[in-house]
Every structure is written in C-alpha cells, then in structure tokens.
Structure 1
C-alpha cells in the first residue's frame, strides 16, 4: 500500500464528533468531513448531547478519534472556558486526544477557553475565525436586513469576513493531516477587507434591492438587545466583546486558509451572490 493509500484508509476509519452539528459551522464541518471520507458523529441536544450536562458527554465521545468543539453561546464566556476544559479532559480520558476548537480572532475574552483546551492534555488545534460572512444571511441580523436596514455597532471598522465553508474545509484538512497542525493556532480570514457598510452595499447590490447600514454605539446596541429579552449577563458579555473586536485589531488578512487547503479563501462577493440567489434576504 502506498503512503497516500494508507493515509486515505486511515481517514476512512476516523470517526469525528462534531458539536453544534446543526449550526452555522458545525453543519458545514459535518458535510466537509463526510466528503473527505470521515465518519461523522453529530453531537446536539436532539441526539442526546448537551454542553450543560456533562453526564451526556461520554456516550458521544466514546470510541471516537477526534472532535470539533464549538461552544454554543460565545467562546469568550466563562461558561465556555469551564465547559471546553471539562469536556476536553473527559475526551482525553476516553482516548479522544485529537481536538479542534473554534475560537474567535482577536477576542481577548476567548483566551481562557483556549487555555483550557491547551492545558487539557489533548493534541489540539485552535481555529480563530474572523466574522462569518454567513452572519449576514443566517441568524439574528437577517430580520433587519430583510426590512432594509442593518443596525450594528461596528462603526466603519474593516473586517476580512470569512466564509464558514472555508472554516469547514480547514477543520477537515487539519483532521486529515495527521500531526501536521497539532499545537497550532490558525487565524482564518477572507481574501480582502470590507467595512460593514461596504459588505451591506455588496449584499444590497446582489439582491437588487436597497439595504442600508446604520452604525450605533455599543451601549445603544446592548440596550436594544436587553429590550429583546437577551439576559443581562449575555448583553454585558456581547457588548464587551464588540467593544474589543471593533477597534480595528482584525483589519488585516492572513494566508492560513491557503496554507491549509491550498487555495484562496472564498470572496465575500461570491457569498453575497449565492445567498441572494438562495433567497436569504427575501421578505
């Protein structure tokens, strides 16, 4: 058997647990992993896995080879550091040493969660992602855009928006590359910088309609979240995170997507065109 054939055979025998398998990144990671020949074990509440109930973890992790960890609220929350650390230690104890964590690029609040993983004894890789392109087409921002306006506390800062399909391709490549990316922290970005205003303008052009961007102070945005019933502790965390991330610290691109998958990251214009064609912003 050639080395390449052996690698393929090993990949086909690999079972990866994908947390958040019905979510924005997890669903794409599951799809990409299956496409690469991995056996995917979807971890969600519907399948008996609950981040808040450690008694559900072992049945999901047992006999797996690797896991993709995506904490369901914010990776910068104290609960994330506690949960990721505890799950990572349990995974290692069960022989699941290969763990890939989705983190947030430039988010200081996420560092304790990353440390919880790196100190767990796992063979870890951290994937720090920029703001997702799909945050514009999936999730709470969509409703306002459907009605013609995105209100958000990003000012005029520029961001290298990353397509979640690129995150999924990177995670899958990391898992199928042996030890090559063990102990690495990868920063994933799109190929160019856009302000939120420019991103909304590209989406508006793709839809053929008119969507405007209205920047607001972080405090005002937090008050609006509270008015929608978001718990006070979550509002406090989110406003703190937005204040951190929207200071321009992420206004540069990296080459990590190309390094791992051997091609340029997907462009925001392609995302906008495809999402518009799929009806993402139709009323």
Structure 2
C-alpha cells in the first residue's frame, strides 16, 4: 500500500449510494483500488439501501465518514428534495463529514437538491452532469444500437456527452483529496455532438451501419409503453428530451479540467473503446 492510499484508508468508511449504477460502480472500483474501505449503497447490498425505505438508512450510514450521493430515479423526480433533506439530516446525525452529490446539469429541480446538501453543514462538492456517453452502451439506448436503428425525439441540438469514467474520476478526487470542498463542477465532454452525429461515430467505430431516426415525442413514448418500459422512466426521458435537451447544455464546460487538471475524454475515444468490447455487435 502506498503512503497516499494508507492516508486515505485512515480517513474512514465511504458510502457509495447507487453503487451498482453507471457512475457508482466506477467510483467503487476506484476507491477499492486505493484501498479505501467502501460500503455499497444498493438494494442488493447488506445492509440494503433503498430510497423508498427511510427507516433502513440508519444502519447503512452507521460508521460512514464520506458519501457519494446519487438519487434514483433522478433529482428531477417529484419528492427528491424532501428525500435528500431527510438523508442529509440522518447523515449529519451519523457523523458523516463529506458528501459528493451527483447532480443534473440544467435541471432546476436538481439545483434545489444541491442547496439542500449545501445547507446541511458538511463538506460538500457538487458534480453536475447531463447525457452520459454510456447511455449508448449501458442503458436504454444499447438495444437500438445493437438493432442498427436509433429512433429518438432529438433534433439538431448538440450535447457535449460526458464519459462516466470522467464523472467517477472527479467524484473520487473530491472524496479522497483536498481542495474540492464548496466546488460545483459541471462536467462535459470536450465537444458537442448531435445525437445523429454520436450515432454515426458509434457506427464508424463498430464498423456497422447504424441509422438515426428523429421521431416525435408522442410516438417515442408510445413505443416505450408498448415495450413495457416503467412509467417513471418514460416520464424522466420525456423530461430530458423536451426540457434538458433544449440547448441549455450545449456548450462544453471546464469542470473536468478544474477538478483533475486534464482534459475530459472525447466521445470518439469512448466509441472506440466500447466498440472494441464487441457489445455493439451482439
């Protein structure tokens, strides 16, 4: 163990809420590589963490010094601010010292939750993100990519897709290092692409023809319902495509550079790395 890792280890237990999610599992992997003691915050863990089971939070928070906090389904969901407020009160009572919150870029409701975290009296850092590049490979867009046609209610508004690995790197830096307290990091990729351009890059990297088809929001949600997609996910996706994807987040930011001192990963790098895994050719 290095001296740095030993110093981190002596800082205490870190809870990763949403530890099986896209960013959470990456945060867990990085902390474990640093020999930081980690508690997984998920419904499958023991003790289990469930946002719907408030009485069950106390044993999960017991002995925890730092928290990586994500909220399911999203901070834009109704009741999120109340849930975050209750969680923060329990965190303070449990002796938590530092919280890193994953927030939503361009989401007014998410910023209400940010203020709740900031007002709790703990060391805090906010990491704001919008569309993950990994949505094309680890989420609801994987099946359409594999099928060769991605139909979305997205027009020509560009999005600087952020790599989930960059989010995890920023979160771990804020959890384990100094100088990040009181910082709001808006994290993006280095350039903005439309969804059509992103799909085209994926096709080139995978060596396949993958079509992008723009559709109306109503048609899109109707198809999701036919395929049994949960109503809360449909509502969230509708919010993203009709509100967040209106141009407010089109400009790349310097959050990754400010937090880590390096440039963010480019979408092309993500596409090549993911294509090499073969997942888009299944």
Q: Please, which moves more after superposition, 229-238 or 56-65?
A: 229-238
Q: Does 2:147 correspond to 1:151?
A: no
Shift of 1:72: 2.1
In structure 2, the partner of 1:206 is 205
Shift of 1:164: 0.5
Distance 1:101-1:210 versus aligned 2 partners, 3 A rule: same
Shift of 1:36: 3.1
Shift of 1:176: 1.8
Shift of 1:52: 1.0
Q: Does 2:8 correspond to 1:11?
A: yes
Name the Cα RMSD after superposition.
1.9
Matches of 2:152 and 2:207, distance apart in 1: 22
In structure 2, the partner of 1:171 is 171
Q: Does 2:21 correspond to 1:20?
A: no
Are the equivalent residues in 2 in contact too, given 1:75–1:103 (CA < 8 A)?
yes
In structure 1, the partner of 2:91 is 91
Q: For 1:45, what is the secondary structure of its paired residue?
A: coil
Matches of 1:8 and 1:233, distance apart in 2: 40
Shift of 1:240: 2.7
* Per-residue CA distance 1:108-140 (angstroms, 9 max, x = gap): 232232233223333221110131110100111
The runs of 4+ residues in structure 1 deviating greater than 6 Å are none
Q: Please, which moves more after superposition, 46-55 or 196-205?
A: 46-55
Distance 1:218-1:8 versus aligned 2 partners, 3 A rule: same
Are the equivalent residues in 2 in contact too, given 1:102–1:129 (CA < 8 A)?
yes
Shift of 1:233: 5.4
Matches of 1:42 and 1:20, distance apart in 2: 8
Distance 1:226-1:116 versus aligned 2 partners, 3 A rule: farther
Matches of 1:145 and 1:238, distance apart in 2: 17
For 1:1-283, what aligned pairs fall within 5 Å after superposition? Answer: 9-14=6-11, 15-47=13-45, 48-178=48-178, 180-232=179-231, 234-283=233-282
5+ residue gaps, structure 2: none
Matches of 1:232 and 1:75, distance apart in 2: 16
Matches of 2:236 and 2:164, distance apart in 1: 23
Are the equivalent residues in 1 in contact too, given 2:20–2:42 (CA < 8 A)?
yes
Matches of 1:233 and 1:132, distance apart in 2: 19
Q: For 1:30, what is the secondary structure of its paired residue?
A: helix
Matches of 2:28 and 2:258, distance apart in 1: 21
* Per-residue CA distance 1:8-31 (angstroms, 9 max, x = gap): 543122321001111111010111
| TM-score, with structure 2 as normaliser | 0.92
Query: How many pairs were matched up?
Result: 278
| TM-score, with structure 1 as normaliser | 0.92
